[in-house]
A = this chain, B = another copy of it.
Amino acid sequence: MATTSANPVLIRSDKLILGGGAALCVLAGVARYGGWSSVLAFIVSAAAVCVLASLVGRSVEQLGDRFGPGATGVLQSALGNLPELFICIFSLKAGLVDVVRAALVGSILANLLLVLGLAFLVGGLRHGTQQLGSERARTIVTLMVLSVTAMAVPSIAHEVHSPAGAHETAFSVIVSIVLLVLFGLSLPFSLRRDETSTDVVSTEAPRWPVWLAIAMLTVAGLLAAFVSDWFVHALEPAMRTLSISNAFAGLVIVAIAGNAIENVVGVQLAARGQSEYAFSLILNSPIQIALVLAPVLVLASQIFGLASLTLVFGPMLVVALVLSVLLTAVIATDGESTWLEGATLIALYAVIATSFWWG
C-alpha cells in the first residue's frame, strides 16, 4: 500500500525532470545559437547538463533493475560519468587542457571535502554522531586512497624533476593502462557492492518499461553530448566576463556541475540517516575518476589527437589531492562522523578553493 501511494509522486517527479530537462535543453540551444550573453548561456547549459546527468543516472538505475543488480553496477560504472566525460572531451577539443586537469582533481576534492562535509554536517545536525565503520566502507576507502595515489604518481615524478618527468606522455599512458586494468579487476567487487546497495534504493523507485529506459538513456546521452559542447563553448567567454581563472573554473565550477546529481543524492542520503550508504556513494566517485575517467581521457587525447592530456597536474592540485585523500582516510578510520567534522571539511574545501581564485 505504501509503495502504491508513493508511485504517483515519483512519476510526477519523473515528469517534472523530463519537462524541465527538455525546456532547459531547448533554452541552452537557443542561448548557444541565439547570441545570448555568454554568462547566461553558461548558466542555462550548466543547468541542462545537471538535469541530463540525472536522467542518465535514472535510466541506468531502471535498466539495471531489469538485468539484476550486477548489471546496474557495470552500467553505472560505464555510463555514470558520461556527461563529465563529454564535457572533458569537448574541453580538450577546445584546447582547454588546464580546465580538464583542474576539473578532474576538482571533482575528487569536491567529493572528498565539500560533499562529504555537507553529508556529515546535514547528517550530524539531524541524527547526531553517525557510524561509518562497516567493512565495505573501509574497503572503499582503501581502494580510493590507493587508486588516487597511483593516479598522482606521474605528477609527483614531474614535480620532483625525476627523470620520468621528461617522459610525461609515455609514463601517463602506462599509468592509465595500469589504472584501467585495476578498474577491470575491481568490477567483481563493485558488482557485489551494488547487490546490497540497490536493496536500499529500489524499494522506492517505480519501474519503467525496458523500452522506455533504453530510449531515455539514448536520448539523454545524445542530448548530453550536444549540451556539453554548448556548455564548454560558453565556458571560456563566461569565465572571462566574470574574471574567473581557468584553474578556478575547472576546479570548482565544472567539478561541481559535472557531479551535481551524485552530490545531491549523497547529501540526501545523509539527511535521511543512511550515513553508511552516503559515505560509500560519495567515496565511489573519486575511484571512478581515478580508475576510469582520467585514464580514458588520457588515452583518448593521445589516440584521437586532441590537445594532449597527461596525468601531470599542477603542483598545488597534486598536494591538495594527496592531502585530501589522506585526510579522508584518517576521518574514515575514525569510524564516526559529527557535524563539526563536516563543517571543518567544508572550511578546508573553502580554503583550498580560495587558493585557486588567483589564476
Q: Which residues of A contact B (CB under 8 A)?
A: 129, 135, 138-139, 141-143, 145-147, 149-150, 153-154, 156-157, 159-164, 166-167, 171, 174-175, 178-179, 181-182, 185-186, 189, 245, 247, 314-316, 319-320, 322-323, 326-327, 329-331, 333-336, 338, 340-341, 343-345, 347-348, 350-352, 354-359
Q: Which residues of B contact A319 (CB under 8 A)?
A: 156, 160
Given contacts A163-B245, A343-B185, contact A333 B336 (CB under 8 A): no
**Can you name 21 A-B pairs with beta carbons within 8 Å?**
A138-B336, A142-B330, A143-B340, A143-B344, A145-B327, A146-B327, A150-B348, A156-B316, A156-B320, A160-B316, A162-B356, A163-B356, A163-B358, A164-B316, A164-B357, A164-B358, A175-B351, A182-B347, A186-B340, A330-B330, A333-B333
- Nearest-CB distance from A2 to chain B (Å)? 35
Copies in the complex: 3
Given contacts A146-B345, A344-B146, contact A338 B156 (CB under 8 A): no
Supplied contacts A150-B344, A154-B355, 13 more A-B pairs, CB within 8 Å:
A139-B336, A141-B334, A142-B330, A143-B344, A145-B327, A146-B344, A149-B348, A156-B320, A157-B316, A164-B354, A178-B351, A189-B340, A330-B330
